[in-house]
Structure 1
């Protein structure tokens, strides 16, 4: 059997690794550590849904960033389809940033 089986948790970890390669253009921290990704869902068919926010509703990359994320995640071999959902509830705040991101930005 040559088909590679990958479980949803493993695929979820691969997706997070991809998300950590995408940076907010205004802040030198990746979108995952920045806290812009609220949730990543992967079903048995390897369809992915990403729930995310932006630093503000007027963010200059409101159109391009979700598209970049979708394209990069979809480029993973095991991913079937990617759906992006943008939300501002709850609104993004610096509290959502990881310790690593706060350290990187000199906030600790």
Structure 2
């Protein structure tokens, strides 16, 4: 896969991540800053490192499955692996400006 193709697929992955929401927060997981790493390999296999707003999030399974299904629906991504990480701990400082505005932090 060339760099241009890889960039287009990564953009589509981000677009799909922006459709995944924590049911308790009206902001998508990407803008919340929950996605720490998107690693797209040459063969299309994808690894995502992500966290949750809290380690004991009751919607964790739902969110993780939603992420997996949506990124695997992107053409050029045959399989996705998600790693749930808690290092570095999530903090509202890593949200996008749009997310902070939506949640009243600005």
TM norm. shorter chain > 0.5: yes
CA RMSD in angstroms comes to: 1.0
The equivalent residue for 1:30 is 28
After TM superposition, the score normalised by the length of structure 2 is: 0.93
* Dislocated runs of 4+, deviation >4 Å: none
- Per the normalisation by structure 1, the TM-score is 0.91
Q: Write the distance in 1 (CA, Å) between the matches of 2:64 and 2:104.
A: 27
Shift in Å, 1:54: 0.2
Would you say 1:88 and 2:86 are equivalent positions?
yes
- Identify unmatched segments of 5+ residues in structure 1: 1-5
Question: Alignment partner for residue 60 of structure 2, among 58, 62, 81?
Answer: 62
Larger helix percent: 2
Q: Which structure is larger by alpha-carbon Rg, 1 or 2?
A: 1
1:3 is aligned to none
Structure-2 separation of matches of 1:11 and 1:95: 28
| Count of aligned positions | 103
- How far residue 77 of structure 1 moved from its aligned partner, in angstroms, is 2.1
- Which ranges in structure 2 are unaligned for 5 or more consecutive residues? none
